[in-house]
Amino acid sequence: MTLPAENHRTHEAAGLTRRLADFVERTRWADVPAVVRHEAKRSLVNYFAVALAGCSDPAIDKAVSVYDRFRAGDDAGVIGRRERTDILNGAALNAMSANVFDFDDTHLPTIIHPTAPVAAALFALAEARQLSGEALLLAFVVGVEVECRIGNAVSPEHYQRGWHITSTCGVFGAAAAVAKAVGLDAQHIVWALGNASAQASGLVETLGTMSKSISVGNAARNGLLSALLAADGFSGPDAPLEGERGFLRVTAQRPDFSAISEGPGREWALLSNTYKPYPCGVVLNPVIDACLDLRRDARWRFDEIERVELTGHPLLRERTDRPGIRSGRESQVSAQHAVAVTLARGKASLAEFSDAAVTDPSLRAFASRLRFIDDASWPVESAQVTIVLHSGERVSRRVQAARGSLAAPPGDVELAAKLRELAAYGRSGVDPQALLDVLWQLDHEPDSAAPMRAARRVA
């Protein structure tokens, strides 16, 4: 016998993809509140910042070299580089570059990095066909809304089961955004989401390796492809999300259908977007804040530390308990490394999460001194670090809301400074002020490809 609760869930799920597609089709720029419009531009400033930082990373060098063998044109640029390629490869490479350092934005509570898959697809499209800045921003807003609502529906189980949520949900966001940008109707948007469902993939097991970049790049590339196929009548299932063997039921045991159906157009995912002050997993932000505070007031030496106790939400341990790391990429998701390097150096910039930093024997030896204390009552954006010295003295710092969190967001000036710093780090020769000027005024720009021109390598 079907339980009443199951009857309710069945009713809630009915037509879910179509309702989401209707939202994408009907939403207009006038429907988007001013605060959300501005947050969209902030997200894009952060996107270009982190893509410029990652543009010359070895993983991106290798990907550009391989993808170039199969390019079908030269419509699209690669941020911070001279190469040009076709729009599908361009979307993939720019999403990879923006995510390679784990320095990109984070939607709470899903921990999706929402901008890279969606923005990369849209800017690739914008280089191939005329699209105004306002139209791109609108498509970006609805694309982020789609990916984050789907993410909310399968969280937190989805990530815990091993799905890399930025990749699996990002492909839907990219598909919805491009579908909006090219003016598809609701039926064709359903097909675009169906095409995306056939390509939704990515595993947490790849974190800390170059392989992670493949699925992030594919989220942008395949989302773009999904919408372009739908535009030419390439059809898909009617219920790719809520179907009995659709994305939601396959990747989560009890998906929350209401997370998709309730509030679109009233509650906006971009208002839950955050921007990292450090190039590592977002759950490490409060840990690093606390370590920096401890180091700033230190009356102890690094070699006097017997152990460090790390108290926080269980998600902190689940995602960052990684001793014995071998690369800078792995260090981005290692609490052992983050605590050691921050306490030792008093800094947590890209250099502290590099291959060179990982080889420091004093930092490697420190890993065994870290102890996790799980407390599910703690918010993800908080943590406490307690140093226990050989003398028995204990020194603690608790951070209630990490820098970059919703409670302590960076201002526009700080985001602009991040772009300037990371543009210099990537050594592309890009003029950061010229790029910032275009991005802050993008809603008034007749050609939304202007930021891509401003972000092309010049030396």
Q: Note the pLDDT of residue 399.
A: 97
Q: Note the pLDDT of residue 3.
A: 40
For residue 307 the two structure tokens come to 């152990």
The residues near 156 (Cβ < 8 Å, ≥ 6 apart) are 109, 315
Domains of the chain, start order? 4-275+419-454 (1.10.4100.10), 282-399 (3.30.1330.120)
Report, as an integer, the average pLDDT of 432-455.
98
Question: pLDDT tens digit string along 8-27?
Answer: 556 678 899 999 999 999 99
Q: At what angle do helices 211-231 and 87-99 cross, to 10 degrees?
A: 140
| Terminal-to-terminal C-alpha distance of the chain | 70
Q: Note the pLDDT of residue 13.
A: 84
Above pLDDT 70, what percent of the chain?
A: 97
CA distances from 428 to 51, 55, 214, 233, 353 (A): 11, 8, 23, 40, 20
Q: Note the pLDDT of residue 1.
A: 37
Beta-bridge mates of residue 203: 163
Q: How far apart are CA 130 and CA 136, in angstroms?
A: 10
On the question of pLDDT at 235 being above 50, the answer is yes
On the question of pLDDT at 109 being above 60, the answer is yes
> Are the C-beta atoms of 458 and 429 separated by less than 8 Å?
yes
Q: Are strands 383-389 and 370-374 parallel, antiparallel or unpaired?
A: unpaired
Report, as an integer, the average pLDDT of 416-423.
97
CA distances from 235 to 26, 206, 230, 341 (A): 21, 31, 6, 51
Above pLDDT 90, what percent of the chain?
A: 90
Q: Against a cut of 0.85, is the pTM above it?
A: yes
Task: Work out the pLDDT band at 297, boundaries 50, 70, 90.
Answer: confident
Residue 446 DSSP class: S
Report, as an integer, the average pLDDT of 65-86.
97
Task: Work out the pLDDT band at 2, boundaries 50, 70, 90.
Answer: very low
Mean pLDDT of the chain: 95
Question: pLDDT tens digit string along 301-314?
Answer: 999 999 999 999 99
Question: pLDDT tens digit string along 163-189?
Answer: 999 999 999 999 999 999 999 999 999
Q: Note the pLDDT of residue 124.
A: 98
Question: pLDDT tens digit string along 254-280?
Answer: 999 999 999 899 999 999 999 999 999
Question: pLDDT tens digit string along 124-138?
Answer: 999 999 999 999 999
Question: pLDDT tens digit string along 36-46?
Answer: 999 999 999 99
